[in-house]
């Protein structure tokens, strides 16, 4: 997929790395493993609303879906190639620089976002995804 990698975190505590598991006391998720993190955020998307509609020249972002379901659209800003992915609880997606993205809430959704770079308002460029919804 263009500038994007998607993974379902394995449901086990027996391996090193990003993973998740459920036990009597609740779910545990190791979203990141041995990664440098300069920015971390939590956001909600309500059904019928969206977040994103931008790209970054320098910033790489990773997103982990804690709960819910979203429809994600992507556009490679160099080639114009597009892709679409439905993301659900337990999925992690990494978006490379110069890959525009928008997330549409299909259910009440909570997402963790993190990046090795610090947040920089000046590195966010709006993109119109109208007509691709």
- The confidence score (pLDDT) of residue 2 equals 85
Residue 133 pLDDT level (bands cut at 50, 70, 90) = low
Q: Determine the Cα–Cα distance for residues 6 and 105; give it in Å rounded to an integer.
A: 18
- The confidence score (pLDDT) of residue 13 equals 92
- The confidence score (pLDDT) of residue 130 equals 84
Closest CA relative to residue 116, chosen from 75, 51, 72, 58: 58
**11-64, pLDDT tens digit by residue?**
999 999 999 999 999 999 999 999 999 999 999 999 999 999 999 999 999 999
**92-126, pLDDT tens digit by residue?**
999 999 999 999 999 999 999 999 999 999 999 99
Residue 7 pLDDT level (bands cut at 50, 70, 90) = very high
- The confidence score (pLDDT) of residue 131 equals 75
Closest CA relative to residue 88, chosen from 62, 68, 113: 68
- Structural domains in the chain, CATH included, are 4-8+37-120 (2.60.120.10)
- The confidence score (pLDDT) of residue 132 equals 74
- The confidence score (pLDDT) of residue 19 equals 95
């Amino acid at each position: 997929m263009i500038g994007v990698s998607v993974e379902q975190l394995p449901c086990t505590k027996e391996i090193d790395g990003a993973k998740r598991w459920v036990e009597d006391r609740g779910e545990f998720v190791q979203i990141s493993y041995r990664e440098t993190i300069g920015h971390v955020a939590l956001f909600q998307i309500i059904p019928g609303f969206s977040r994103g509609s931008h790209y970054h020249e320098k910033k790489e972002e990773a997103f982990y879906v804690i709960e819910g379901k979203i429809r994600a659209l992507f556009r490679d800003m160099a080639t114009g190639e597009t892709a679409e992915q439905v993301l659900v609880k337990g999925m992690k997606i990494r978006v490379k620089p110069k890959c525009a993205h928008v997330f549409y809430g299909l259910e009440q959704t909570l997402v963790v976002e993190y990046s090795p770079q610090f947040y920089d308002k000046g590195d966010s460029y709006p993109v119109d995804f109208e007509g691709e919804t």
